[in-house]
Structure 1
Amino acid sequence: MAESEAFTAGSRNGRGEATVEPSRTPEANVAERKNATKIIYIVYIIAALDVTWMFLQFSVTPYVAKKLGFDTLWFGYLQTTVGLIQLLGGPMFGRFGDVFGARIALLLACASTVVFFLLLAVADHPVMLFVHKLPTVFMHVLPATQMVVADLTEPDKRAAALSKVGLCFGIGMIFGSTLGGHLNTHYGEKFTACFGAAGSFFSLLLVYKFIPKTTKVQPAEGNISNERRNRSVFSIREITRLMDFPGVSRTFAVKVVAGLPSGIFQVMFSIIALEFFKLDPQQNGNLMAFFGITQMVIQGGVIDRLTSRYSESSLLLVSVAISSLVGLAHAYMQDIFQFCLTVVPMMFSLSVFNVITDSILTKSVPSSDTGTMLGLCSSVQSLLRTVGPTVGGFLYVNYGVSSIGTVQFVVNVVVFLYLLRRHLNKTPEHQD
């Protein structure tokens, strides 16, 4: 299978930045770029399909849980379980991808998704509903696709390329929600879950056919022994050492602190839509479609242009500033119309913030560690899903919706001032 041969794209320096080997002919470089582009397009398709299946299961799990006697509290426990499992599995999965290659990692993620849906289809007891969540420890298709994209793109084009994964997320959100609702209404939960398993198996076939064994640059001869010494997937030291690279711990802290308030709002939105805005299921579905379309436009047509004109540090600063203003608006909103006015800036700040921080972090470590770093980045989202319901529920019950917006405003203002101080202290030659 010619498509499954290892892909190499020149050498990289210690910071993971690609350099072209002088011995290669221009024709060889053009052929490699075309091959890389083809693989990236296939990866985008795999990402869109994965998000489709993810949102398809969102139309199944709540109804199965209701039939099995779950109340709101126990359904919250179920969601928290998923967050904890993926929080633990994210960094390990990223390390697995670095050690064994993107193809094996993606095959494992897609196979786990197949098992996930099959277990959901046969879930006939509350315990089984918890058991069917266990495969989520390996269900990290999106971080794995981001790893491939990061490996096959030049550093100056990485943010734009990663933003396209977000575009795939918007596409999958719309199609998955629509398809899941239609299948569940007409054919029931079991058929919908089996359809998700079949779709995930198709994604697995795409990975097997088109994704190369490795997308990383092969180590130099002098580094082979070092690579072999550090092939442990479960090495906590190998994962945490990434924080020692210049700027990584600072950027990662910004990603966690600034992302927490907006993450709380996201995990609480279903409750806010139901109790505060009084939306019925159809209205909520239309609003989710609006989210998806907005994200598609921003990820597909806006971020690419911004990253080609402005530095990543400037875009990070702007995204945090807009997020603080969105929090202030949420603190004073009274109805769904006022909320809809904040959707575009909210999605813009979220999209830019996530893409830019992921891009900065992957460029701050060697190419051999980009998977581990993206696994750590995905664990941030899992952390938000784990602590978000508890913190958000406390704020909502005791202080109302406005308190969530106020916290977002205050936290992001503090982060903005910190980033602004660092930005102004940089000399021109150190600007990104």
Structure 2
Amino acid sequence: MDQRGETTEETSKSSVSSPVNVADQRKRTKIIYVVYIIAALDITWMFLQFSVTPYLAKKLGFDTLWFGYLQTMVGVIQLLGGPMFGRFADLFGARVALSLACTSTIVFFLLLAIADHPAMLFIHKLPTVFMHVLPASQMVVADLSEPEKRADALSKLALCFGVGMIAGSTLGGHLNTRYGETFTACFGAAGSAFSLLLVLKFIPKTTKVQAPRTSADSENKKKSVFNVGEITRLMKFPGVTPTFLVKIIAGLPSGIFQVMFSIIALEFFKLEPQQNGLLMAYFGIVQMLIQGGVIGRLTPRYSDNSLLLLSIGVSSLVGLAQAYMQNVFQFCIIVLPMMFSLSVFNVITDSMLTKSVPSSDTGTMMGLCASVQSLLRTVGPTAGGFLYVNYGISSIGLIQFVVNICVFLFMLQRRLRKTTEHME
């Protein structure tokens, strides 16, 4: 599908075909840029929501464990919806998939705006089953980027995450402090409506190049949207299952810390909404620097396996540091290696997995990747709430250290064994 690397050569050889190739390249580049904007806006609205939910939950009488149950519910819903949404995106195209995701986000914020009872906080999470703007955006970028440049393209998409984190956290903290939770939620709904307009205006029906199909073939494909076998068959491709296991096992401890961070900021660091928003904005700045200045330079020089091993090793040290931190200043220092390991880990694993499957299945694969994150959010809040209440914040960091160092040593031993066998 991608012919960017051949465009210059073709331009010099054929004056007839070059306008078509250049036009196609510009069109694909424009679509990618618009997708970056949509992704940045979606993350903005999501982090704006993070400035509302924990404080609203506290007002409605939620304690740490019940807030963990709320987060677990989101994880379960998205765990079920992620793979199906990815398959839906592959079959019905980027425009329909992104429109569904943005519309669900609008409903999500409207329900949050009218939440005045603990049950309403659970009800407003139901639309998250279709709220997969980021995986759909990743699918589009994967479809329109060359395999050898995919990690760099996905890292630029992750750069949008940093932009959204800064904008959403800062904006959410100010709006919640000055105007309250209801106004902030309505602002998120309006912003999501603007994202929907961008999708309808600029995103094409499909971003894939497919061979012509008969109506019977199309009907059979549509029937397979909820076919679990069509989704799980991707696990049979070489290298997919081991990468997924590493993504789950190594990612679980850091996932626990991430989903519990709003509670940690509220109870351990004693942060107000505006202070919490500034801290999240700091996260975003660090991530932007890493995505824009570090990952793009690392991916051409080092193999995916080497970078994956590095990210897991750094993550183990981050867990050890988290176990002994005492204040926000120490945590701000820890954020630097933490964001590096998370950014490299997510970008490299997603890149490795999309390279392992045909281009026609990139949406399904991104849905499966999203389901891994949802699995972490499903287990994380309950496990994190139990650990935090009974053993304190240090237990979360120590578990991250132990699990990641074990995965690191296992992968290193396996790599050394393969190197020795190759030399023999």
Counterpart pick for 2:79 among 72, 87, 102? 87
Contact persistence 1:121–1:190 (CA under 8 A): yes
Counterpart pick for 1:120 among 112, 117, 133? 112
1:30-179, aligned counterparts within 5 Å? 30-179=22-171
Contact persistence 1:313–1:423 (CA under 8 A): no
Rounded to whole Å, the distance in 1 between the matches of 2:40 and 2:87 is 23
Contact persistence 1:112–1:136 (CA under 8 A): yes
* Pair 1:191 & 2:187 matched: no
Deviation, structure 1 residue 393: 2.6
1:318-357, aligned counterparts within 5 Å? 318-357=310-349
Deviation, structure 1 residue 220: 5.8
Contact persistence 1:230–1:238 (CA under 8 A): no
What residue is the counterpart of 2:7 in the other structure? none
- The amino acid that maps onto 2:239 is G
Between the aligned residues of both structures, percent identity stands at 77
SS in 2 for 1:233: helix
Q: Deviation digits for residues 12-69 of structure 1, max 9, x if unmatched?
A: xxxxxxxx9x999344333222111110000000001101111122223334434444
Q: After the TM superposition, which of the residue ranges 117-126 and 343-352 deviates more from structure 2?
A: 117-126
Q: After the TM superposition, which of the residue ranges 207-216 and 52-61 deviates more from structure 2?
A: 52-61
1:211-250, aligned counterparts within 5 Å? 211-219=203-211, 229-231=220-222, 232-250=224-242
CA change 1:359–1:100 in 2 (3 A) is same
Q: Deviation digits for residues 201-258 of structure 1, max 9, x if unmatched?
A: 111110011111110121366x997665333211100111110000000000000000
What residue is the counterpart of 2:280 in the other structure? 288
CA change 1:57–1:335 in 2 (3 A) is closer
What residue is the counterpart of 1:13 in the other structure? none
Q: After the TM superposition, which of the residue ranges 137-146 and 189-198 deviates more from structure 2?
A: 189-198
SS in 1 for 2:104: helix
CA RMSD of aligned residues (A): 2.6
Rounded to whole Å, the distance in 1 between the matches of 2:325 and 2:187 is 40
* Pair 1:261 & 2:277 matched: no
CA change 1:281–1:312 in 2 (3 A) is same
Q: Deviation digits for residues 369-418 of structure 1, max 9, x if unmatched?
A: 11111111111111111111222233333333332222212211221122
Deviation, structure 1 residue 182: 2.5
Rounded to whole Å, the distance in 2 between the matches of 1:196 and 1:96 is 25
Count of residue pairs the alignment pairs up: 412
SS in 2 for 1:308: coil
- The amino acid that maps onto 2:276 is N
* Pair 1:392 & 2:384 matched: yes
Rounded to whole Å, the distance in 1 between the matches of 2:383 and 2:123 is 26
Deviation, structure 1 residue 90: 0.7
> TM-score, normalised to structure 1's length?
0.88
CA change 1:402–1:71 in 2 (3 A) is closer
Deviation, structure 1 residue 9: 4.3
Rounded to whole Å, the distance in 2 between the matches of 1:261 and 1:73 is 18
> TM-score, normalised to structure 2's length?
0.90
